[in-house]
Structure 1
Amino acid sequence: MSSGAGRNPAGLRLGSHLRPRAATREFTFLVSDYAATVAADHLATVIEEQAPGVRLRLQQQIGVGAE
């Protein structure tokens, strides 16, 4: 079993220099309808400006906490 030194639970290297303009990763967010409506456009605009090679994928959160 590896110690995972230098990595967080998301698998990202800790302490690495972040270069948003050179980044080419895809990030998936599990969001509610409300969060998608309120934040998605702004988040996409910021990512497009600051990290044009990064892709965002929003997945709708279904049936969690609904009673």
Structure 2
Amino acid sequence: MEESFKRLKSETEEISEEQKNIREGQRQVKEKFGIIESECEELKRETRLIIQRSARSQGN
């Protein structure tokens, strides 16, 4: 019986560690998506500026 409890405790600790690793991985993915989203917005701004400049030079 004690052997079963030790095994169960060990498995529970292992699962807890795996869950901790999963949460950390999810946090990192969320952070990376935030960075990608920010870069995407910057590219959109730069594209709009290029289009505006191009339109002005076409108008001349």
The TM-score normalised by the length of structure 2 is: 0.25
**Higher share of residues assigned strand:** 1
Bigger RCO (CA 8 Å, 6+ sep): 1
Q: Which has the higher helix share?
A: 2
TM value normalised by structure 1 = 0.23
